[in-house]
Structure 1
């Protein structure tokens, strides 16, 4: 299954953790398929996407995530910066 297809199955913290593990494996096995191959460019791209995400959700007819979802992302990035 392609990584893009796995996004559709994310509906809980557990499935998000599984997706992130799959993304890590995909990056390890297919780095040429990733535009942003270093942490700095990845985080910059993530910031840019989040800033324009309203258009993404509108274009694909998807509901906007609740505000708590954005806090989860921020907490995950912060915790991953120091989690072993």
Structure 2
């Protein structure tokens, strides 16, 4: 399964955990495939995508995620900052 297919197949906590591990491996094994090569650039790109994602969801026919979904993503980033 390619990177985007794996991202699109995330539908629960376990598949998200597996995707994140796969992303970490891909970053190590395929650094030239990553436009944002450090955490600061990656977080800025994530912020930009979140700000602009309305059109992505509109074209896919899916609703914009709920407030709780966004809060969970924020908690994920905050926790990863200190979690070992």
TM-score normalised per structure 1: 0.93
Alpha-carbon distance in 2 for matches of 1:16, 1:82: 19
- Correspondence for 2:25: 25
How far residue 60 of structure 1 moved from its aligned partner, in angstroms, is 2.3
Where in structure 2 are the equivalents of 1:69-84 lying within 5 Å? 69-84=69-84
Point out where structure 2 has 5 or more consecutive residues left out of the alignment.
none
Point out where structure 1 has 5 or more consecutive residues left out of the alignment.
none
**Cα deviation digits, residues 12-70 of structure 1 (max 9, x gap):** 11111111111111111100001001011100000000011111111222222121111
- Correspondence for 1:53: 53
Alpha-carbon distance in 2 for matches of 1:3, 1:61: 22
Q: How many residues align?
A: 84
- Correspondence for 2:11: 11
TM-score normalised per structure 2: 0.93
Relative contact order, CA 8 A, sep 6+: which one is greater? 1
